[in-house]
Amino acid sequence: MQDKVNDDIILIGTAHISKDSVEEVKEAIEKYKPDVVAVELCKRRYEGIINKDKWENTPVTSLLKSNNAYFMLAQTFLSSIQRKLGKEHGIEPGSEMIAAMDEAKKNNIDIALVDRDISVTLKRAWKKMGVREKLRLIWEFFKAILGYDEEDLEEINLKEIMDQDVISTMMEEFGEIAPSVATVLIHERDEYIAKKILDESKKGRVIAVVGAGHLQGIKKHLEKKELNVDLIDLEYVPRKRFSVLKTIGYAVPIAFAALIVYAFYFKGLDLALEVFIYWFLINGTFSAIGTAIARGHPFSIATAFVAAPITSLNPAIAAGWVAGYVEAKLRTPVIRDFKGLSQIDSLRDFWNNRVIRLLMVVALANVGSMIGTLVAFPYITSLLTG
């Protein structure tokens, strides 16, 4: 799908899993002979496409931080879906972007990466979301992973998927869950990409290869008489002065200590010990269940059970980090596992990969501990007031 904005800018809206888009990109570059070929990629995503084995250099320790675990799981899961759809159509996802860059190199044409860094986009989206949206998003994500079935892909509207890039698709999938992210994932990127394309047009004629889902939004901004977009502002990730989740993290040990003191002074030592035992059992059990669902090693499950009641009282450390460390020691991912991340396209591949298993142990041990905390407090309170 081609759209000529003016003599200096030609937009090509592509389907990311389509042979037709690859041919269209090649023909457009040959026809218009641009000075610059701009592609809707950031450096990180560009390296992900050209270097499929990038994972093999990832330090295992970097997988233990819970935020990394969630991000990597989401990225791998979404990529696996695109890869599965791509196989059905006989083409690799992102082939039209590769074709555009290959044609540019062959004809000695400048290449410009005009999308915002994916990590900035996702961090800004995360900051925009409220606590309820975040919890719903995490819940839906894990439901998707645990219920992932190749047959489910048959129900996906392939035309709609192919008309979007992976980030836009993700936004639409979770739009009802976290509507506040639409601005960051779609509208901000339209502005950002349009500004980058406009800047590149100062060098001469530009052909910009973008996902079809972004075509009209980008064109609308490029047709403005004056495009007032501050790239620095759009790349800034704001720091929240007040974080509900962090506040809760620090409030948990204070509340627990208050309950123990109350039980000891007003109900006696026996009830105080009972409160502590129930805290340990409930928190540990839910974290252990999460680790078991992730198919963690028995020692990792036991570690989650012991660690969760303690780490829940320490905001600086998480149960998943401890359980993940044990899992990494007992089932250390090897280079084959990291390389396998770029080849996952079935539920069996997903579950059998040691890197994925480690990520799931980290993530689900943390989720289990969080659920255990939410369950334990009301129960303990009922003991003290009963």
- B/e letters for 128-154, b = 16+ CB within 10 Å, e = fewer, are bbeeebeebbbeebbebbeebeeeeee
Q: Where is average pLDDT lowest: 148-152, 251-255, 311-315?
A: 148-152
Q: How many CB atoms lie within 10 A of CB 270?
A: 10
Element (H, E) at 4: strand 2-4
Q: Kindly report the pTM of this predicted structure.
A: 0.64
* % of the chain residues with pLDDT over 90: 26
Residue 211: strand, helix, or coil: strand
Q: How many CB atoms lie within 10 A of CB 319?
A: 34
Mean pLDDT of the residues in the chain: 79
Handedness of CA 381, 285, 290, 253 (dihedral sign): positive
Helices (H) and strands (E) in the chain, counts: 19, 5
pLDDT digits (tens, 9 = 90+) for 132-169: 777 777 776 666 655 555 454 444 444 454 444 554 55
Give Cα 68 to chain centroid, integer Å.
9
SS (HEC) of 214-237:
HHHHHHHHHCCCCCCCCHHHHCCC
